[in-house]
A and B are shown apart, each in its own frame.
Chain A
Amino acid sequence: MTADTKLEGRLTELFNSTTSGRAPIDLHATAMTRVARVRQRPPVLARLRGERLGRSIGVTRLAGRVVLVGAALILLAMAAAFAAGALRSAASGTITYVSWDVSNPETYSIWSVRGDGTGDHRIATGECPSVSADGASMVFISGRLGPVKGQMTAAKGDGSDQRVLTGVDTFKGMISPDGSAVAWVKDLRPIGTVNNARLGYEDELWVSPVSGGPGVRVVARRAPNVSFSGQAWSPSGDRIAFVEKKFIFAGADGGRTVEESIWIVSANGSSLQQIATASESHDRRWLPSKHPSSISWSPDGHSLAYIRESGSDSWLTVLAADGSHEARIAAGFDGEPVWSPNGKYIAFQGIDGLTTVEILGGSTVGPQHRAPVNTTEPVQVDIGAWSPDSRHLLVIETRQLDDVGNQQAVGNQPEGEPSRLLLIDAELKGPPSLVLDRERSIGDVYRCPVTWSNR
């Protein structure tokens, strides 16, 4: 028996012996509840082959081919529109983004490109870049060990002058608006810890000077199984909002409850205030775990936008920064709302969570308008960042596979999903314009794939 055969046998045995656990009892029912809320997409790819459409409308295959040619012409026209849009936009500033390194598929790299799509180049090896508003400074995670822990590293905005600020204990850091400090989450669990659903987190929130030197622990470990995430600096840089998740384990059935709340701490740690309970206590075994994944301050520092879960629904919610009141604004989905720098718009993902974003506050097509980014092929659209002048919203479009026979449509490697950076006009004037077309995915494990600075 060869070594491979032995190993294969052990694997099969292990899988068979450790996967007897059943899915949570309501998992399927909850999924079907979500299914009831969305409509199926048209079989666009099948239509392009002239097959399904021909049958479904009862016409001949020849007619289907006519449809195919027509669709191809439409695609060409759309491509031309994209090109024209790219020339028109000429957005200013610098976009910093993360993508798989083409030369080394096991690592992520940080790249920089002008807002008009020119000057694309790699600036560092790392993930989760956070860039100051003027683009002069940035922090990012380097030397990641395992899925999330790495070293907080500071650099100039062009990636030069790199210096490591922390040990390999850092989950995620966000730079202050003026670029002088970084708020980061310290993961206290020893590296030897094996994480699973029952072990929870042990986190602290720290603020460190980007120039180096000792940092300040602004929020100590509050209790076992409490995690911090989503830290966001107020525009004035004197406060940090963050999400606390408290995991409560119940019983031997693997059930657990998560209580989520939003807190604000002063940048020097002198005051700490809970301003909202972001979601009610509930068993998280089968509910989405992504809310609130981020908090966005209004430019005046008076309000915060986040996605609040309510039962099986999610709502874009605006909360007063002192916690005095909040308002549900619109139904959202898996969202990371982003307030535009001029305070006029909030962008968030539409209820279908796939190919549309909603822009709240538009003046030309209604108070809330939808931006269907691409309807010609299966895509996933994520919100990236607003341009510094608030005229454009940058979104990340990642092509998806929806049919076994279409692997060429997305490349052969999971990390190789082609991605594009697209600009959507804030008032939805004209089609999206193309900034960048990447062979590899844009994004990272920390969900901080893109920033846009003035530089």
Chain B
Amino acid sequence: MHEELVARAQRGDREAFATLTAGRTNRLYAAARLILRDDEAAADAVQDALVRAWLDLRGLRDPSLFDAWLHRVLIRVCHRAASRSRGRIIREVRAAGQSPATTSDVQVELAARDELERGLRRLSHDHRTVLVVRYYLDLPLAECAQVLGLPLGTAQSRINRALQALRAALEAEGRPVVLAGEVVA
């Protein structure tokens, strides 16, 4: 069914393309939000990815790879959005001495999640993309490599480096950042 829709869409059937992509939009949007950290930019990215997918669909050789291909189109659109538009996601920096005081398990849990969120924001776009592809799209390594357009070994090392960067970002959360001789809050 899926391959048939792809084949019909490749022959120029817009209805088939609409049917094919309708059920995938939420997942694309969620991935784009995680990568771009901005609702509006994510919506734009999904639109652009769908239009680009339509334009280039006839170049897809194997219809069974449609999902991986579509994810890849989205990743590339997100990269362009991050590098070309006014992303304005400001790196969060905590001033010296500020640490979240927690008094209950719930607060500890929330603080941990918040810390992880901030750590993700500190990552480069590329590192965040790698983590979203691996842990949100939940793709096995081979498919990650396909979506990212990397050889298998390179994909693995990228994921490792992204995890290292995230760990470093989390550690940095606890340190003051000094710029031009002053602590920036």
Query: Which of A's residues lie within 8 Å of B, judged by CB?
Result: 3-4, 7-8, 10-12, 14-15, 17-19, 21-24, 27-28, 30-32, 34-36, 38-46, 51-52, 106, 145-149, 167-168, 171, 187, 189-197, 201, 229, 254, 256, 284-286, 288-290, 352, 354, 378, 380, 400-405, 407, 410, 412-415, 441, 443-447
Contacts and interface: CB of A to CB of B under 8 A. Distances in A.
A31 B42 CA distance: 13
Interface residues of B, number: 86
A290 B149 contact: no
B6 interface: no
Interface of B: 10, 12, 14, 17-18, 21-22, 25-26, 28-30, 33-34, 37-41, 43-44, 46-47, 50-52, 54-62, 65, 68-69, 72-73, 75-76, 79-80, 82-95, 112-113, 116-118, 120-121, 124, 126, 129, 131-132, 135-136, 138, 146, 149-151, 154, 160, 163, 166-167, 179-180, 184-185
A17 B109 CA distance: 12
A289 B40 contact: yes
B83 A11 contact: no
B89 A146 contact: yes
Contacts of A167: 180
Contacts of B40: 197, 256, 284-285, 289
A193 B58 contact: no
B90 A195 contact: yes
26 contacts: A10-B116, A15-B132, A23-B30, A23-B46, A24-B29, A27-B25, A27-B46, A28-B25, A31-B25, A35-B50, A35-B54, A38-B51, A40-B55, A40-B56, A145-B91, A147-B91, A148-B86, A149-B90, A171-B86, A190-B185, A194-B121, A197-B40, A290-B44, A404-B65, A404-B68, A404-B72
B124 A15 contact: no
Contacts, number: 233
A194 B92 contact: yes
A410 B21 contact: no
B34 to A, nearest CB: 6
Main secondary structure of the interface of B (DSSP, over half): helix
Contacts of A189: 90
A28 B21 contact: yes
Given A27-B47, A414-B76, 17 more contacts: A8-B163, A15-B34, A19-B34, A34-B50, A35-B14, A40-B54, A43-B59, A52-B61, A195-B89, A254-B39, A290-B85, A354-B52, A403-B61, A407-B149, A407-B150, A414-B79, A445-B83
A168 B132 CA distance: 30
Nearest to B57: A40
Given A195-B90, A354-B55, A23 B43 contact: yes
